[in-house]
Amino acid sequence: MGKVSFLGNLWRGGAPKYDSGGASYVVELTKRNPVVSLTKQGADSGHLRVNLHWQMRTSDLGDRGKRSMGSLLRHPARIFKPEVVQAQGPAVVQIDLDLACMYELKDGTKGVVQPLGDFLGDLNGPPYVQLSGDDRFGSPSGETLYINMDHRDEIKRLLIFVYIYDGTPAFDRTHAVVTLYPTTGPRVQIRLDERAPQARSCAIFMLEKTKDELTVRREVKYVYGFQAELDRLYGWGLHWGRGYKSKV
Contact 176, 162 (CB under 8 A): yes
pLDDT for res 76: 52
Based on the fold, state whether residues 208 and 167 are members of the same structural domain.
Answer: yes
pLDDT for res 73: 53
Based on the fold, state whether residues 153 and 178 are members of the same structural domain.
Answer: yes
Number of domains forming the structure of the chain: 2
Based on the fold, state whether residues 195 and 206 are members of the same structural domain.
Answer: yes
Residue 245 falls within a domain, yes or no? no
Residue 110 falls within a domain, yes or no? yes
CA atoms of 156 and 183, how far apart (whole Å): 20
Q: Which candidate, 101, 92, 100, places its Cα nearest to that of 55? A: 92
Based on the fold, state whether residues 196 and 212 are members of the same structural domain.
Answer: yes
Based on the fold, state whether residues 87 and 153 are members of the same structural domain.
Answer: no
pTM: 0.74
Residue 247 falls within a domain, yes or no? no
Q: List CB contacts of 145: < 8 A, sequence separation 6 or more.
A: 49, 50, 51, 52, 99, 100, 101, 113, 129, 130, 131, 132, 160
Residue 242 falls within a domain, yes or no? no
CA atoms of 164 and 178, how far apart (whole Å): 15
Interval 156-207: pLDDT, tens: 999 999 988 766 566 767 778 999 999 998 999 999 877 777 888 999 999 9
Q: What CATH number is associated with residue 32?
A: 2.60.60.30
Domain boundary among 77, 92, 107: 92
Q: How many CA atoms lie within 13 A of 171 on its CB side?
A: 28
Alpha carbon distances (Å) from 13 to 1, 6, 16, 186, 192:
19, 11, 10, 21, 32
Alpha carbon distances (Å) from 10 to 7, 16, 25:
5, 10, 17
In one-letter notation, the amino acid at residue 192 is: L
Based on the fold, state whether residues 49 and 80 are members of the same structural domain.
Answer: no
Domain that holds residue 110: 19-56+95-234
Based on the fold, state whether residues 73 and 131 are members of the same structural domain.
Answer: no
pLDDT along the chain (248 residues), means of 10: 35 35 76 94 93 69 44 49 40 72 96 90 96 57 88 96 74 83 93 82 93 93 91 91 51
Count the helices and strands in the chain (H runs, E runs): 3, 13
Based on the fold, state whether residues 113 and 191 are members of the same structural domain.
Answer: yes
Residue 14 falls within a domain, yes or no? no
Based on the fold, state whether residues 201 and 178 are members of the same structural domain.
Answer: yes
pLDDT for res 75: 53
pLDDT for res 230: 94
Query: In the beta sheet, which residues pair with residue 134?
Result: none
Residue 216 falls within a domain, yes or no? yes
pLDDT for res 113: 96
Residue 174 falls within a domain, yes or no? yes
Based on the fold, state whether residues 33 and 81 are members of the same structural domain.
Answer: no
Residue 102 falls within a domain, yes or no? yes
- Number of CB atoms found within 10 A of residue 198's CB: 10
Based on the fold, state whether residues 162 and 227 are members of the same structural domain.
Answer: yes
pLDDT for res 176: 86
pLDDT for res 196: 76
Based on the fold, state whether residues 45 and 77 are members of the same structural domain.
Answer: no
